[in-house]
Amino acid sequence: MKHLLSCDGLSRDTATAVLDTAEALKQTLLGREVRKLPTLRGRTVITMFYENSTRTRVSFEIAGKWMSADVINVSSSGSSVSKGESLRDTALTLAAAGADCVIVRHPASGAAHRLASWLSGTHTSVVNAGDGMHEHPTQALLDAATLRERLGGLDGRRIAIVGDVLHSRVARSNVHLLTTLGAEVVLVAPPTLLPAGVNSWPVTVSHELDAELSAVDAVMMLRVQAERMHGGFFPSAREYSIAYGLSEARLRLLPDHAVVLHPGPMLRGMEIASTVADSPRAAITDQVRNGVHVRMAVLYHLLAGEEEVA
C-alpha cells in the first residue's frame, strides 16, 4: 500500500489486514505504562490540516508518536499557505524536506488524490484525513474496528447510517468499507439530505428511522454539516431532531445487542440525546480509542515495510 486515499477500491484483504494489525497493536499496548514502539523510528510524518479537526489530527499525532515517528503538524494559518502558496507547492516542499508520509485534510473533494498524483515521483505516502464531501477512510476503518469488537464481525450485519448523508464523507467511506466487509447498509435520511445518484449505491434507502431500528445491529448517527449548507437546510433543526434524532425512546426500539456510533463532533440534543450518547450502548469513546490503533496500523502498513509491528 503506497497511499490510503479512499475506501472505494480498498480490497477486503487489505482492509482486514489493517484491522487485524490495529487489533494486535491494541493488545500489545494494553496495560503498558510506556506506550512506545520502535517501529517507525527515523520516519517523518507530517499532518497538513486545511480544515479544523480534533479527533483525526490528534489521533494521527499520537499514533505516529507511539510508533516513534517524528510527527510535525502544519496548519494553513501558521504556514506559507496563508501567504498564498498552493497545495501542490506545499506538498512538494514537505516531500523535499523529507516527509515519509503526508496526512492531509482539505475542504475540496479530490484534494488527497491530487496530492498523491503530484507526489508520484517521490517516496512520500499520502493519507486522506477527509476531503470535502468525498471520503474519510480512516474514520470508516475505526468504525469497522469498533463494530468488529462489539459485534464479533461484520458479515451479514445490518448497519443504519442516519442523517446528513449528502454532505458526509464519513457516510461515503463507510458505505464502501462496510459493504466490502460483508455488511448490509441502510441509509436513513430526509430526501433533501441524500445525494443524487444514491440509488446506484449498494445500499437500501429509507426516510423513516422508526421503521428501521428494530432490524439493525448498529446505528451510525451522522453530524449535520451546517458549514457545507450555504443556504441553510431543510428540514429545520427542530424538524430534523424530531424525525431523525436518536432519542431515548428510539434507543428502546433497537435490539439489545445493537450498538450506537457517532463519528463526532456531536450536536447533542439534535442528532443524538445526551443520555443516549453517554449510555453503555454507545461506542463513541471506543471509536476515538480505536482511532489511535487504526491510524497506527495505517502508518505501519504504509511505512514499516517488512518490519515487525511490535
Q: Contacting ligand CP (CB under 6 A), which of 139, 146, 173, 290?
A: 139
Q: Which is nearer to ligand CP, 39 or 287 (CB)?
A: 287
Considering only 14-22, 48-56, 63-71, 240-248, which stretch makes contact with ligand CP by CB under 6 A?
48-56
Cα angle vertex 23, ends 14, 185, to 5°? 60
Question: Minimum Å distance from CB 81 to ligand CP?
Answer: 19
| Binding-site member from 6, 39, 47, 56 for ligand CP (CB under 6 A) | 56
Q: Which of 193, 199, 188 is nearest to 161 (CA)?
A: 188
Nearer to ligand CP, 39 or 173 (CB): 173
Near ligand CP by CB under 6 A: residue from 54, 82, 120, 275: 54
| Residue nearer to ligand CP on the CB measure, 215 or 288 | 288
Q: Which three cell numbers mark 203?
A: 445500499
Between 58 and 237, CB nearer to ligand CP? 58
Q: Which of 173, 263, 271, 302 is in the footprint of ligand CP by CB under 6 A?
A: 263
**Which is nearer to ligand CP, 64 or 130 (by Cβ)?**
130
Establish whether 148 is an annotated binding residue: no
Round to whole Å and give the CA distance between 160 and 10.
21
Q: Is 106 annotated as a binding residue?
A: no
User: Are the CB atoms for 100 and 125 separated by under 8 Å?
Assistant: yes
* Residue 163 grid cell: 442523517
Does the annotation flag 88 for ligand binding?
no
Q: How far is Cα 183 from Cα 103, in angstroms, rounded to an integer? A: 28
Q: Which residues of 164-187 are buried (b: 16+ CB within 10 A; e: fewer)?
A: bbbbbbbbbbbbbbbbbbebbbbb
* Cell numbers standing for residue 308: 515487525
Residues β-bridged to residue 185? 159
Rule CB under 6 A: say whether 195 interacts with ligand CP.
Answer: no
Rounded to a whole number of angstroms, the minimum distance from the CB of residue 263 to ligand CP is 4
Is 223 labeled as ligand-binding?
yes
Tell me how far apart the alpha carbons of residues 146 and 141 are, in angstroms, rounded to a whole number: 9
232: left (phi over 0), alpha (psi -120 to 50) or beta: left
Instruction: Identify the bridge partners of residue 218 per DSSP, sorted by sequence position.
Output: 159, 259
* Residue 136 among known ligand-binding residues: yes
| Residues at the site binding ligand CP, with contacts judged by CB under 6 A | 53-56, 130, 136, 139, 263-265
- Binding site for carbamoyl phosphate: residue ranges? 55-56, 105, 136, 139, 264-265
Binding residues: 55-56, 83, 105, 136, 139, 169, 223, 264-265
